[in-house]
Amino acid sequence: MSVLEGIPIDMSIVLGSTSIPIRQVLKMSRGAMIPLDCGHNDPTRVYVNDQLVAEGKILMNGEMMSLEITKVVERER
């Protein structure tokens, strides 16, 4: 067993973002659509501990969703 296996990380898969007033969020009901600042061909971003580490694209297989990594981001030195 690797010493790294027990270290927790915070991972986020980001499709896009938006900025909307809280009053609009409070009025939303099931099925509400939230427009994002990206298109369907834009890359999905992978963040680990708030640092961008990769980009990819979302794949659907029936009800299952997965992420295909298409680019690993170079680390800044």
pLDDT digits (tens, 9 = 90+) for 18-52: 999 999 999 999 999 999 999 888 999 999 999 99
Q: Which domains occur in the chain, in start order?
A: 3-72 (2.30.330.10)
70 is written with which tokens?
Answer: 């298409």
| Confidence band of 1 (pLDDT split at 50, 70, 90) | low
The residues, any chain, with a CB within 8 Å of residue 13's CB and separated by 6 or more, are 44, 45, 46, 67
* Beta carbons of 55 and 46 less than 8 angstroms apart: yes
Q: Which residue has the tokens 């809280």?
A: 22
- pTM, two decimals, is 0.74
Consecutive H or E run containing 25: helix 22-27
